[in-house]
Amino acid sequence: MSFRNFKMVSYVVYGRGSFNQLDGILAPQRKADAPMVFLVDHFFEGKPLAGRIPLRGKDKIVFVDVTYEPKTTYVDKLAQDLKEEFGTISGVIGIGGGSAMDLAKAVSLMMTNPGSSADYQGWDLVKNPGVYKAGIPTLSGTGAEVSRTTVLTGPTRKLGMNSDFTPFDQIVLDPELTKNAPANQRFYTGMDCYIHCIESLEGTYLNEFSKSYGEKALQLCQKVFVEKDHWDDESDDQLMMASYAGGMSIAYSQVGVAHAVSYGLSYLLGTKHGIGNCIVMNHLEEYYPAGVKEFKFMVEKNRIEIPQGICKGLTDEQFDTMIDVSLGMKPLWENALGKDWEKTMTREKLRLLYEKL
């Protein structure tokens, strides 16, 4: 038995207003004549947060379009443009939800690795460390701030660049930045964390390390979405730590059925990660009975609409594409259903599940 020896984020600062320390945090990372590049979620264009970014010298803000989840083509273009404009850069700082943070991780890696980011979709394919990278979440739930992956949609698949070079060198967890996120978005991204917990805690890969973080993250999600009657600053504090702990939980285990199925939706229909997971979770009683019951309670309590019937009218070929993408996520299925998962999750069974969504 060999145990995973995984790379973690090197530096973490947590606290309301910790964003104000960014200038000092970046100072030792600056190399002469090489700027810091801030990849900022386009939502913040013209918003006060953009004005608080500590620009020095040739530093540049790029407002990234996260209308669609990150694509390998977009990552390659961002990296290529930066190489042409600056040659080398001191680092990339991703400010935003999971999409902007993933873009920052991937662009950092593509500044120093040849070819296309699509060449590195998979496990441990990245050859060289990227440039310095920092992540600053403005939504809580994905765990992208702590994970060793950056999820990209490529020409043939939606799959992360999973590697020891992928985790951030620094994260700044400032719950103030998530204040006023729209309730629906906050719920979908928050449920990503809740679902990470259920999938990790109910999975066959579970060990005490994952369990300790998963239980804490689950408890924080329950405080925020089950117990409380209104959203307050403490909720932002708690959900940010839930996201962190949920991410740490899956670092040593895996996600499961909801993610495996939702990846198919996302690949074919462009369904976004958070909402896609919710659409699938709504129909997973067979796999996660207690989690799905509580999920439905949270949906109702927080007055969220989960779309239905999104697979209506799809062709056999389209169903097959989703099934191929989904069944390709082997570690997820193995975590969820055990070593013999292929006997349980047949193409026919998965098709019936997709038809329900």
Stretch (H or E) spanning 106 = helix 98-110
By CB under 5 A, residue 294 contacts Zn ion: no
Q: Which is nearer to ligand NAD, 86 or 231 (CB)?
A: 231
By CB under 5 A, residue 102 contacts Zn ion: no
Among ligand NAD, Zn ion, none, what does residue 200 contact (CB within 5–8 Å per kind)? none
Among ligand NAD, Zn ion, none, what does residue 335 contact (CB within 5–8 Å per kind)? none
Question: In the bound complex, what is the minimum distance in angstroms from residue 84's beta carbon to ligand NAD?
Answer: 26
CA-based end-to-end distance of the chain: 39
For residues 140-169, which are near ligand NAD according to CB under 6 A? Answer: 142-144, 147, 149-151
Contact 242, 206 (CB under 8 A): no
DSSP 55: -
Among 118, 139, 172, 336, the residue binding ligand NAD under the rule CB under 6 A is 139
For residues 156 to 195, the per-residue mask of contacts with Zn ion, x marking binding by CB under 5 A and - elsewhere, is ------------------------------------x---
Q: 């059925």: which residue's tokens?
A: 257
By CB under 5 A, residue 69 contacts Zn ion: no
By CB under 6 A, residue 70 contacts ligand NAD: yes
DSSP 95: E
By CB under 5 A, residue 199 contacts Zn ion: no
Interacting residues of 82 by C-beta distance below 8 A, sequence separation 6+? 37, 89, 107, 111
Q: Which is nearer to Zn ion, 131 or 255 (CB)?
A: 255
Side by side, the strands of the sheet bearing 122-123 are 122-123, 158-162, 151-153
By CB under 6 A, residue 253 contacts ligand NAD: no
Question: What are 279's two structure tokens?
Answer: 């659409």
- Residue 75's closest CA among 3, 142, 139, 152? 152
Of the candidate spans 23-31, 32-40, 51-59, 94-102, the one that interacts with ligand NAD by CB under 6 A turns out to be: 94-102
Q: Which is nearer to Zn ion, 175 or 256 (CB)?
A: 256
Question: What are 167's two structure tokens?
Answer: 């985790």
By CB under 6 A, residue 210 contacts ligand NAD: no
Stretch (H or E) spanning 40 = strand 36-41
Question: What are 130's two structure tokens?
Answer: 């990227």
- Residue 21's closest CA among 118, 136, 102? 136
Q: Which is nearer to ligand NAD, 241 or 351 (CB)?
A: 241
Residue 34, helix vs strand vs coil: strand
By CB under 6 A, residue 71 contacts ligand NAD: no
Q: How many residues bind Zn ion (CB under 5 A)?
A: 1
Among Zn ion, ligand NAD, none, what does residue 139 contact (CB within 5–8 Å per kind)? ligand NAD
Contact 197, 217 (CB under 8 A): yes
Q: How many residues bind ligand NAD (CB under 6 A)?
A: 29
At residue 261's C-alpha, the angle toward residues 297 and 123, to 5°, is 125
Phi, psi of 82 (to 5 degrees): -70, -40
Residue 324, helix vs strand vs coil: helix
By CB under 6 A, residue 176 contacts ligand NAD: no
For residues 266-285, which are near ligand NAD according to CB under 6 A? Answer: 272-274
Among Zn ion, ligand NAD, none, what does residue 99 contact (CB within 5–8 Å per kind)? ligand NAD
Q: Let me know how many helices (H) and strands (E) the chain has, helices first.
A: 14, 9
Q: Which is nearer to ligand NAD, 36 or 64 (CB)?
A: 64
Question: In the bound complex, what is the minimum distance in angstroms from residue 208's beta carbon to ligand NAD?
Answer: 22
Interacting residues of 50 by C-beta distance below 8 A, sequence separation 6+? 40, 44, 61, 63
Q: Which residues make up the interface to Zn ion (CB under 5 A)?
A: 192
Q: Which residues make up the interface to ligand NAD (CB under 6 A)?
A: 41, 43, 66, 69-70, 96-100, 102, 138-139, 142-144, 147, 149-151, 178, 181-182, 185, 189, 192, 272-274
